[in-house]
A and B are shown apart, each in its own frame.
Chain A
Amino acid sequence: MSAYMATFLRWLATPVVLLAISLFLYWLLRKIGWQKKAAVGFALISPWLVGFLIFTAFPLFYSLYLSFTEYSIFGTPRFVGLQNYIFLFTEDLEFWPSVRITLLYAALTLPIGVVGALLVAMLLNNRIKGIGIFRTIYYLPAILPEVAVALLWRWIFNSESGIMNYLLSPILNFFGLGKPDWFGDPHYVIFAFVIMSVWGIFGTNTVIFLAALQGVSRSLYEAAEIDGASGFAKFIHVTIPQISPVILLQVVMGMIGALQIFTVAMFVRPTSAAGKFMNQLVYERGFTQLHMGEASAIAWVLFIIILILTLLVFRSSPAWVYYEAEVKR
């Protein structure tokens, strides 16, 4: 009980401190001649700014610094230059496999998650009866806690008596493959992860695409029909350009999410032969082995990978993303 109470009191005190900071900023800005409304606006966003400076900006640079040090939480960080990175790139046996499996996982889930969801959304967009029920069913996996998703699929993929091997047994027997240990065998583990994740994220993407499709104006399709466009031509020249901003968002968010896979992997617990995702490696090195410097270096490599890929997608977007507002202007 006392643990709750102490936290609760600090939880009550925090907004008081933040309010004091807001009021002080308001006073300060008024003092230097800001208009009242401007000062109010700045005071309103100041809680975010405080959180950003303490918990995002500072940690970002501090973790970059830590990645050049050796640090075990105890004592002070010792500067070692590029040693962590050199160790990761040249000697560490787990690092490159984890980069590989993380990228491969993102490269496989992303197209299936985006293209597949789009196709299903188009099916649902056919003015079918009971669309609400289907939408609910399709969205159901997306609301399940990741913990439950991971445990459920770990059981489905169970080598001895999981239903996956049972349902696939005609095919598996035909190829003489026996009962694969999905999350234990390095050859199968990535497919197991992809299947599990696609089941889990499909619903969100489908619901978003469905709404986007329903937002495409009928008149555009009618105009295309008058011009004699076939179903496929309408899809390429009307549907895709109209919903391309949504596709861009899905690709970017899906990619960032996939590269950061962590919780499901922790609960699925693939054998070490099957490999670890980068975030798992960060957690393991940092919090179980207390190599904070090395863990920070891995986190920064992941950050750079995400940054580069995101920039590439955004750079490519003018070529395929169509914003109506730009033309209208």
Chain B
Amino acid sequence: MGVAGRKRFNRVLIYITVISIAIVILLPFFWMLSTALKPEGDIFTWPPDWIPDPPQWHNFADAWNAMPFSRFLLNTIFVVALGMSAELISETLVAYGFARFRFPGRDLIFFILLATMMLPFHVTLIPTYLIWQKFGLVGEFDPLVLRAWTAWGPFYIFLLRQFFLGIPRELDDAAEIDGAGPIQTFFYVMLPQIKPALLAVGIFTFRGYWNDFLGPLIYLTDMNKYTLNLGMYFFMGGVNEQPQWNYLMAMSILVALPILVLFFLAQRYFIEGVTFTGLKD
């Protein structure tokens, strides 16, 4: 085998590996969909059937209606909308403050902010719960959304700050010479420059609130206020109950659907955001 032949052999080998890994990754998705479409009696067949026959599309509607999931969806949208918008606004402002202004203690404060990323969520969980209890807001949506105003995502502040740092100083100076104050500079000079970062943070916070489970689990007590994830937890059934797998898979797909759609629509920002947070130290 010549050099060219060996090169070609290597390429084929690489393609085979890359495609095999893709299949391994996709197989569970296929299994999820296949189970979701199976009639009740076909779930526990052995060997397992890969193709549901005939596909039971009504499983999706049946699962959705087995619990007040429409209500849960509304609750989830409420939490996501409030949390996400508050976080975007507050984090952008905080990041702007860290990136474009000098003040005593700034670097120390920013270091503390980064250090909070390493703090396990559960350490502050109980006192935080007690604070909300003092306010009389346990059982309401408030503990899930009010804190978003205090820019509680250090990762996103970090990401936005990096973007602000990348904007040339000359732009600020030019704006200042034209008589713009910090607020005008922010809206007319800064915001248009950091649009990709805002989109990335928007997507990540959306996903964060949509996927949140611990918050709803400890703060929401009334079934009328459950979010989708919390509803799923009870939909799963009791500890010793065998779950109804076709319904559970159907619901898993429905819960994942908005995120999947968002991913395909905004893939570029998703991937850019991921690489950005991973690459800048």
Q: Identify which of B26, B86, B133, B239 contacts A269 (C-beta below 8 A).
A: B239
Q: Which residues of A contact B44 (CB under 8 A)?
A: 160-161
| B27-54 vs A, Cβ < 8 Å mask (1 yes, 0 no) | 1110110010000000111111000000
A51 touches B127 (CB 8 A): no
Task: Return chain A residues, CB-CB under 8 Å to B213.
Answer: 146-147, 263, 266
- Name the interface residues of B82-98: CB closer than 8 Å to any CB of A: 82, 86, 89-90, 93-94, 96-98
CB under 8 Å from chain A, chain B span 135-193: 137, 140-142, 145-147, 149-152, 157, 182
Residue contact A267 to B103, C-beta cutoff 8 Å: no
A63 at the interface (CB under 8 A from B): yes
Complex-state Cα separation, A6 to B145, whole angstroms: 12
Q: How far is the CB of B107 from chain A (nearest CB, A)?
A: 12
Task: Tell me which residues across on chain A come within 8 A of B232, comparing CB atoms.
Answer: 147, 151, 267
Binds B, one of A90-98, A128-136, A217-225: A128-136
Assess whether A37 is interfacial by the CB under 8 Å rule: yes
Q: Would you call B271 and A207 a contact (CB within 8 A)?
A: yes
In whole angstroms, how far apart are the Cα atoms of A118 and B224 in the complex?
A: 45
Residue A172 CB within 8 A of the other chain: no
**A contact residues, range:** 35 or more
Instruction: Determine if A55 and B101 form an interchain contact, defined as CB atoms under 8 angstroms apart.
Output: no
Task: Give the contact stretch, choosing among A78-86, A103-111, A185-193, A293-301.
Answer: A293-301
Secondary structure at chain A's binding surface: helix, strand, loop or mixed? helix
Q: State whether B126 touches A63 (Cβ < 8 A).
A: yes
Q: Let me know if A155 and B281 touch, CB within 8 A.
A: no
Residue pair A145, B214 in contact (C-beta under 8 Å): no
A188-240 residues with Cβ-Cβ distance < 8 A to B are 199, 202-204, 207-208, 210-212, 215
Say whether B253 faces chain A, with CB atoms less than 8 Å apart: yes
Q: Does A174 contact B (CB under 8 A)?
A: no
**Cβ–Cβ contact A55 & B126, under 8 A:** no
State how many angstroms separate the Cβ of B37 from the closest Cβ of chain A: 14
Report how far A6 CA is from B136 CA in the complex, Å.
13
Does B233 have its Cβ within 8 Å of any Cβ on chain A? yes
How far, in angstroms, from A202 to B274 measured CA to CA in the complex?
Answer: 13
Flag A241-273 by CB within 8 Å of B: 1 or 0 each: 000011011101000100110110011010000
Q: Which residues of A contact B207 (CB under 8 A)?
A: 143
Interface residue from B14, B118, B245, B252 paired with A123 (Cβ < 8 Å): B14
Which residues of A have CB within 8 Å of B260? 143-144
Give the CA-CA distance A152 to B31 in the complex, in Å. 8
Q: Within 8 Å of chain B (Cβ to Cβ): is A320?
A: no
Q: 1/0 contact trace for A48-63 toward B, CB 8 Å?
A: 1111101110111011
- Report chain B residues within 8 Å CB of A160: 44, 46
Q: How far is the CA of A215 from the CA of B281 in the complex (A)?
A: 14
Asked, given contacts A56-B124, A152-B252, A310-B118, whether A166 binds B86 with beta carbons under 8 Å apart, the answer is no
Q: Are B279 and A55 in contact (CB under 8 A)?
A: no
Residues of A within 8 A of B253 (CB): 148
Q: How far is the CA of A310 from the CA of B27 in the complex (A)?
A: 35
Q: A139-B271, A208-B279 are in contact. Are A306 and B151 (CB under 8 A)?
A: no
Q: A99 on the interface (CB 8 Å rule)?
A: no
A128-B15, A134-B18, A302-B122 known; A54+B32 contact, CB < 8 A: no
Given known A-B contacts A3-B225, A156-B28, A266-B213, A34 and B103 have beta carbons under 8 A apart: yes
Which residues does chain B contribute within 8 Å of A212, judged by CB atoms? 275, 278-279
A211 to B274: give the CA distance in the assembly, Å. 10
**Contact check: which of A4, A153, A211 meets B279 at CB < 8 Å?**
A211
In the complex, which residue of chain A has the Cβ closest to the Cβ of B49? A161
Task: Tell me what chain B mostly uses at the interface: helix, strand, loop, or mixed.
Answer: helix
- Is B149 in contact with A41, judged by CB distance below 8 angstroms? no
Proximity bits, B238-275, A CB within 8 Å = 1, else 0: 01000001001100110110011001000100110011
Question: A256 — which chain B residues lie within 8 A by C-beta?
Answer: 117-118, 120
A residues near B263, Cβ cutoff 8 Å: 140, 143
B184-211 to A contact mask, C-beta < 8 Å, 1/0: 0000000000000000000000010011
A262 neighbours in B (Cβ, 8 Å): 122, 214
A303 near B120 (CB under 8 angstroms)?
yes
The answer to whether the Cβ of B113 comes within 8 Å of any Cβ in the partner chain is yes
Least CB distance, A279 to chain B, in whole angstroms: 5
Asked if A28 is an interface residue, CB under 8 A from chain B, the answer is no
Q: Is A15 touching B149 in the complex (CB atoms < 8 A)? A: yes
Q: Is the CB of B116 within 8 A of A146?
A: no
List A residues 1-39 near B (Cβ within 8 Å). 3-4, 6-8, 10-11, 14-15, 18, 34, 37-39
Complex Cα spacing A55 to B126, Å: 11
Contact B122 A299 (CB under 8 A): yes
> Could you show 5 A-B contacts with beta carbons less than 8 Å apart?
A44-B94, A146-B211, A155-B32, A156-B28, A283-B218
Given A123-B18, A141-B28, A267-B233: 16 more A-B contacts, CB < 8 Å: A4-B78, A41-B98, A44-B101, A51-B150, A60-B119, A120-B18, A135-B271, A137-B25, A151-B236, A151-B252, A152-B31, A162-B48, A211-B275, A211-B279, A263-B213, A279-B120
A residues in contact (CB < 8 Å) with B: 3-4, 6-8, 10-11, 14-15, 18, 34, 37-45, 47-52, 54-56, 58-60, 62-63, 66, 73, 120, 123-124, 126, 128, 134-141, 143-148, 151-153, 155-156, 158, 160-163, 166, 199, 202-204, 207-208, 210-212, 215, 245-246, 248-250, 252, 256, 259-260, 262-263, 266-267, 269, 279, 282-283, 286-287, 292, 295-296, 299-300, 302-303, 306-307, 310
